[in-house]
Chains A and B, each alone.
Chain A
Amino acid sequence: MNLLRETRAFADNLSDLLNGTICHGIRMSAMQSSTNRNQVWVSFRANLHRLVGTPGIPVSVGRAPRCWLDVSFVLSIDEFNQHLMVVTSYIGLYANVGLTQVLLHYDYERDKRDGYPDAHLQIPATSDPWASLLARCPGDSNELGRLHLPTGGRRFRPTVEDVIEFLIVERIAEARDGWRDVVSRSRDLFLGRQLRAAVRRYPETAAHQLTSMGYAVAAP
């Protein structure tokens, strides 16, 4: 499997998803270290010397954007050397183009080691009930925004498609005609990849389910 070729397709699909729904003219790019060829970083408008401090993705199909996205992925190849694997992902929603006013961010870090869930949501907002609760707790967190809200784990975590749909149905972003089909196709691709990964992880469960549905399944 060729990591760069697969990453190129991944970046192009991501660009098509954004441009087919809530954006215009977005082109995601990828960067690989010349000495660490096992991982590739996909993002928007990064250059070789400046990875942070770059502008966000304007959420707009024509009018002035109300918000901006920051979408980045670190990709590798799975242990079977068969499929592209997301090592980390970051999907942030911001109120300014410089990406300093964060509204929420979905994070995913495969095998996260600090005790927080691999896939989580953080919303930098305040809440009196939460503040009251956290003030009575021993942890360092005393604000809602510092909590890592779990979002479903590795296999079926929230996706860029989910964030796009959220922005549209909440009327935060204007959408292009046909956005539902674009989101649906892209989501199906993601879910198909995740399902294949789940079947590789739990082949007996998959075989049992298929057998119960009438399929003939033979052990290798």
Chain B
Amino acid sequence: MTASATPLEDDGAFDDEDGVVMIATDEDLHQAWLNALQFVGYSYEELEEQARTGAFKSAAAHRSWHIIKSLLPWREPPA
């Protein structure tokens, strides 16, 4: 994933009055990272290898890789 987005400047307050947008802390994402790998039953390295060969072992593995790589891009859980 190599999106070349520029750093964003806050151009005003964002009012999410009915909670569509959630802000996750590092602690939240750390737990999500652990939960995702536990759910799918593969390590990060195993998922990475499955992605490299294009041969995911299960639908859950593929879906989890999409999420982990996009939102939780760590080889190890963040401290």
**A88 on interface, CB distance cutoff 8 Å:** yes
Query: Which of A50, A85, A105 is in CB contact (< 8 Å) with B5?
Result: A85
Alpha-carbon gap, A2 to B6, bound state (A): 12
**B23 on interface, CB distance cutoff 8 Å:** yes
**B46 on interface, CB distance cutoff 8 Å:** no
Contact digits for A1-39, partner B, Cβ 8 Å, 1 yes 0 no: 111110110011000000000000001111111110111
Query: Which of A51, A70, A105, A140 is in CB contact (< 8 Å) with B55?
Result: A140
Check A79–B54 contact: CB distance below 8 A: no
- Chain A residues, CB < 8 A from B53: 140-141
Interface size class of B (residues with CB under 8 A): 35 or more
Residues of A near any B CB (own CB < 8 A): 1-5, 7-8, 11-12, 27-35, 37-41, 47-53, 70, 72, 74, 76-79, 81, 85, 87-88, 90, 92, 94, 99-102, 105, 107, 109-111, 113-114, 116, 124, 140-141, 146-148
- Quick one: closest A residue to B5, CB to CB? A76
- Quick one: closest A residue to B4, CB to CB? A79
Alpha-carbon gap, A7 to B51, bound state (A): 28
Query: Could you tell me the distance in whole angstroms from the C-beta of A27 to the nearest C-beta in chain B?
Result: 7
Check A78–B5 contact: CB distance below 8 A: yes
**B22 on interface, CB distance cutoff 8 Å:** yes
- Quick one: closest B residue to A6, CB to CB? B14
Q: How many residue pairs, one in A and one in B, have C-beta atoms under 8 Å apart?
A: 158
- Chain B residues, CB < 8 A from A50: 32, 35
Check A52–B3 contact: CB distance below 8 A: no
- Chain A residues, CB < 8 A from B14: 2, 4-5, 8
Check A110–B1 contact: CB distance below 8 A: yes
Query: Could you tell me the distance in whole angstroms from the C-beta of A189 to the nearest C-beta in chain B?
Result: 19
Q: A34-B26, A52-B63, A114-B51 are in contact. Are A85 and B21 (CB under 8 A)?
A: no
